[in-house]
């Protein structure tokens, strides 16, 4: 029998800046768009990120883990692992998170990390394509359509399996800034919560299936 009221997957959202994508996730949980997952933790790479304010306003626990303060990538990832364990996290969402995670880390969390990228992968992605640089490159190339992509994170930057994409038109007078805003509003804030719901739903289904197979009641 299908479990009608499963325990939601505990989500950690990793951020570095303004946190508008975090806000979209928080709003989606409030409205019920996100119901198979629960935002249980925010991890910021900077103590100055406005995303921390958003977490506080929503009553979500938040911690700052700075690679610089902790003394490098290995120490940062150790601290991150411990924090994720402490909060019993099942899904990691990268939402404007500016640190690249090591291959060891991503392998340990295979299909357990998703990221939002502000272009239609495989265009304008990979190393060096972050923030406004992505939109500058799209305008320079003269493409007429861009968008956003949510994908699983593996050891290749922006190279993991694609979960969802949404296209956004480029207008003749666009600047990198106007384009960035349109891509966020019309694509990122919509597909990130939907993808988080989709992945959490699949995780819960897989868990139920496993429980049924082993004879336990799901």
Binding residues for ligand GRF, rule: CB under 6 A, are 15, 17-21, 95-96, 116-118, 130-131, 184, 188
Closest residue to ligand GRF, Cβ-based?
A: 96
For residues 99 and 208, which CB has a smaller minimum distance to ligand GRF in the complex? 99
Which of 117, 135, 151, 198 is the catalytic position?
Answer: 117
Shortest spacing between CB 146 and ligand GRF, in angstroms = 12
For residues 185 and 210, which CB has a smaller minimum distance to ligand GRF in the complex? 185
Shortest spacing between CB 147 and ligand GRF, in angstroms = 11
For residues 96 and 160, which CB has a smaller minimum distance to ligand GRF in the complex? 96
Respond yes or no: is residue 117 known to be catalytic: yes
Shortest spacing between CB 120 and ligand GRF, in angstroms = 12
Shortest spacing between CB 59 and ligand GRF, in angstroms = 19
HEC string of the chain?
A: CCCCCCCCEEEEEEECCCCHHHHHHHHHHHHCCCCCEEEEEEEECCCCCCHHHHHHHCCCCEEECCHHHHCCHHHHHHHHHHHHHHCCCCEEEECCCCCCCCHHHHHHCCCCEEEEECCCCCCCCCCCCCCHHHHHHHHHHCCCEEEEEEEECCCCCCCCCEEEEEEEECCCCCCHHHHHHHHHHHHHHHHHHHHHHHHHHHHHHHHHHHHHHCCCCC
**Which residues does the annotation mark as catalytic?**
117
């Amino acid at each position: 029998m299908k479990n009608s009221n499963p325990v939601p997957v505990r989500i950690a959202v990793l951020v570095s800046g303004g946190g508008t994508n975090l806000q979209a996730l928080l709003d989606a949980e409030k409205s019920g768009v996100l119901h198979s997952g629960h935002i249980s933790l925010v991890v910021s790479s900077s103590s100055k990120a406005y995303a921390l304010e958003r977490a506080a306003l929503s009553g979500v626990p938040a911690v700052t883990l700075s690679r610089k303060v902790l003394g490098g990538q290995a120490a940062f990832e150790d601290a991150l692992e411990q924090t994720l364990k402490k909060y019993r996290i099942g899904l990691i969402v990268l939402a404007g998170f500016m640190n690249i995670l090591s291959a060891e880390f991503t392998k340990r969390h295979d299909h357990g990390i998703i990221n939002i990228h502000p272009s239609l992968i495989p265009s304008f992605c990979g190393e060096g394509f972050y923030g406004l640089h992505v939109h500058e490159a799209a305008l320079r190339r003269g493409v007429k359509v861009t968008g956003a992509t949510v994908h699983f994170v593996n050891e290749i930057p922006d190279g993991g399996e694609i979960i969802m994409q949404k296209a956004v038109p480029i207008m003749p007078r666009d600047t990198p800034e106007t384009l960035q805003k349109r891509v966020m509003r019309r694509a990122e804030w919509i597909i990130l919560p939907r993808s988080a719901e989709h992945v959490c739903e699949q995780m819960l289904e897989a868990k139920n299936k496993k429980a049924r197979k082993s004879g336990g009641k799901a």
